[in-house]
Amino acid sequence: MISRISLHTVLPTVFSPRAESDVWGRELELERGKSYLIEADSGTGKSTLLGILYGYRHEYNGRVLFDDADIRAFSSDRWVSLRQQELAILFQELRLFPTLTARENIEVKNQLTGLRNGQWVETMFERLDIADKTDTPVRFLSWGQQQRVAFIRALCQPCAFLLLDEPVSHLDDNNTRTMSDILREDQQQRGYGILSTSVGKRLPYSYDSEFYL
């Protein structure tokens, strides 16, 4: 499992250096088991950063290392393995299957990973106040409800690092606190690192470090 992610003077090729950034063009190290927040203004590249770490954005200068291995050298098979076992992500655009129900979106992931049982899934739906939406196609859910479904799905993925792109942007305060509680419990149990982004409403959490993008 990945124990450390290091960024060495990374900068997307379409960006100009920004002196005030704590991330772009800097030396940055993220450790498994710790929690990090990236605060950003809109358009400064937070989703690009997570895309680089998840291996689907390649247009950058500098180096990204998983432990001591440069990710530019990874094969397609290596990326598949990483996304199956070591990286989990909640995309800003969520990427749920709109015609499947909320429960089916979770089952698709769980059938691949086998990480969670049905009782755990039902408990998550109850705690996040969407127990009455389990059999509803997600295209009929509000964005905040879809965010909660996508969050549950992300926690069905084995990982060394969990990447969260604006995970609470459309949640009320009660569900935001509940999501934070669930995440804290799960991180303590599984020991992964967390990298969460925000352009305003942040996930309330005990972060080890906070950076401005």
96: left (phi over 0), alpha (psi -120 to 50) or beta: beta
pLDDT in tens, 91-134: 999 999 999 999 999 999 999 999 999 999 999 999 999 999 99
140: its two tokens: 């009929």
9: its two tokens: 């003077």
Query: Does the pLDDT value for residue 17 go beyond 80?
Result: no
Query: Does the pLDDT value for residue 18 go beyond 80?
Result: no
Distances in whole angstroms, Cα of residue 6 to Cα of each of 28, 66, 117, 186, 207: 6, 7, 34, 24, 18
In one-letter notation, the amino acid at residue 14 is V
Structural domain of residue 28, as residue ranges?
4-212
Residue 30: pLDDT band with limits 50, 70, 90: very high
pLDDT in tens, 154-163: 999 999 999 9
Domain count, the chain: 1
Query: Does the pLDDT value for residue 168 go beyond 90?
Result: yes
Q: Which residues pair with 29 in a beta bridge?
A: 6
Q: 204: which DSSP letter?
A: P
Predicted pLDDT at 33: 98
Predicted pLDDT at 102: 98
pLDDT in tens, 49-75: 999 999 999 999 999 999 999 999 999
CATH number reported for the structural domain that contains residue 16 in this entry: 3.40.50.300
With residue 186 as reference, give the H or E element that holds it: helix 173-190
Average pLDDT over residues 169-182: 98
Average pLDDT over residues 193-200: 96
Average the pLDDT over each of 15-29, 47-61, 149-163, 194-208 and give the range with the smallest value.
15-29
pLDDT in tens, 68-94: 999 999 999 999 999 999 999 999 999
Residue 10: pLDDT band with limits 50, 70, 90: very high
